[in-house]
């Protein structure tokens, strides 16, 4: 199964393994060869390679769909 998504700033990506705080969800703050991600649980920010995010992503919530829900 090919999971190719278009990642944009403001989207929330759910990763395979949890952050030590227990959250699986990360907000995308920067997109490029590297991603800057912010943990939705504790607010910790990390820079990581695009390859790692694409490999470990399990779900993607687009920014627009979150705005219409709330």
Asked whether residue 69 carries a pLDDT value surpassing 80, the answer given is no
What total of structural domains would you count in the chain? 1
Q: What is the pLDDT of residues 17-54, one digit of tens each?
A: 999 999 999 999 999 999 999 999 999 999 999 999 99
4 lies in a domain?
Answer: no
What pTM, to 2 d.p., does this model score? 0.84
Burial of 68 (0-12, 13-18, 19+ CB in 10 A): exposed
Residue 70 lies in a domain: no
Q: Is residue 50 in some structural domain?
A: yes
Q: For the segment 4-20, what is each residue's pLDDT rounded down to a tens digit?
A: 789 999 999 999 999 99
Measured CA to CA, the distance from residue 16 to residue 44 in angstroms comes to 17
Whole domain around residue 32: which residue ranges? Answer: 12-64
- The answer to whether residue 69 is domain-embedded is no
């Amino acid at each position: 199964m090919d999971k190719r998504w278009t990642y944009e700033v403001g989207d929330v990506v759910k990763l395979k393994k949890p952050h030590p705080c227990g959250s699986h969800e990360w907000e995308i703050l920067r997109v490029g060869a590297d991603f800057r991600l912010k943990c939705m649980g504790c607010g910790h920010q990390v820079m990581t390679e695009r390859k790692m995010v694409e490999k470990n992503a399990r779900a993607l919530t687009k920014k627009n769909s979150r705005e219409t829900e709330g």
